[in-house]
Amino acid sequence: MQEPRYCALLEAAEADIRGAMKTVAGKEDRGDEDITLRVGCLCGSGHHRSVAFSEQLAMVEWPRDWQLELTHRDVTLDVKRRKAIERRK
């Protein structure tokens, strides 16, 4: 979070997510249908930058009625557990 370019990228991703949700939610004839938005974070190896970035995105104060599910495709189970505990703090 010390790198200005990283913070700018994180802010841009947050704005993109909020904008996408607003666009989809604003479409008529959705009824009671739940909205699902999948966001992918990718870096070269999928073990460091993308994990850190997605963890930081998960800590954003999203609207309370949004359900967040964070999944790391290539991270070991031990790391997944540790990250889940850190997010709860």
Is the pLDDT assigned to residue 46 strictly greater than 60? no
Q: How confident is the model at residue 32 (pLDDT cuts 50, 70, 90)?
A: low
CA–CA distance, 35 with 24 (Å, rounded to integer): 8
Neighbours of 73 (CB within 10 A): 9
Give the C-alpha distances (Å, rounded to integers) separating 45 from 23, 49, 63. 32, 9, 31
The better pLDDT of the pair 78, 12 is held by 12
Reference 39, options 56, 61, 63; nearest CA is 56
Q: What's the total number of domains in the chain?
A: 1
Residue 80 has pLDDT above 80, yes or no: no
Of residues 60 and 45, more confidently modeled: 60
Range of the domain at 61: 4-88
Q: Enter the pTM of the model.
A: 0.72
Average the pLDDT over 20-33 and give the result: 74
The answer to whether 39 touches 57, Cβ cutoff 8 Å, is yes
As a whole-number percent, the residues of the chain with pLDDT over 90 amount to: 38
